[in-house]
Amino acid sequence: MKKVALKDLNMNLPQLLEQRWALLTAADGEGCNPMTVSWGGIGRLWNLPVVTVYVRPQRYTKGLMDAEQYFSLAFLPEELHDVMALCGSKSGRDMDKGKECGLTVMTDEKAPYFAQGELTFICRKLYEQDMTGQCFVDPAVEEKNYPGKDYHRMYVGEIVAILEK
């Protein structure tokens, strides 16, 4: 695992997130809980390199993200697509997903991450805010995505380390 700078990553990160999905992981006591995400952003804000992710209130991950100051976002190799599918359909409330998937937890950074990750962003939480129905300019987007009014909470994290295999 080597550390790299955001400017040296020669890849289409938005497409990577949409097509390959990623594991959003926050500490859960002594362990951690990975959750699959495909919506989010990797870019710059407040003159800092940032990751933005969106978590619905019913996710177990939401409580962990609220409690923790750091989180990780990781891209796994394509052959581990089954892991992404499990972490995107089962809840950490019911099982230790990392253990179930045979993932190796690494604890040498500020946020837990997995040895299997090809590319991992370690992030320090800078900003968090619940989305609200009042802020939708186009009501069709709200109607389509939030029939249950379960608005995402947005988390912006400063990228403090990028680990590449």
- Under DSSP, the state recorded for 136 is -
Q: Which part of the chain contacts ligand FMN (CB under 6 A), choosing from 5-13, 41-49, 90-98, 120-128?
A: 90-98
Nearer to ligand FMN, 1 or 67 (CB): 67
136 in contact with ligand FMN (CB under 6 A): no
In angstroms, what is the minimal distance from the CB of 4 to ligand FMN?
24
92 in contact with ligand FMN (CB under 6 A): yes
5-41: burial string, b at 16+ Cβ within 10 Å, e else = eeeeeeeebeebbeebbbbbbbbbeeebbbbbbeebe
111 in contact with ligand FMN (CB under 6 A): no
121 in contact with ligand FMN (CB under 6 A): no
Q: How many CB atoms lie within 10 A of CB 49?
A: 18
In angstroms, what is the minimal distance from the CB of 56 to ligand FMN?
4
The Cα–Cα gap between 64 and 33 comes to 8
Distance of CA 112 to CAs 27, 60, 68, 131, Å? 6, 16, 11, 27
Closest residue to ligand FMN using C-beta atoms? 88
Which residues are at the interface with ligand FMN (CB under 6 A)?
Answer: 21, 33, 35-39, 54-56, 59-61, 88-93
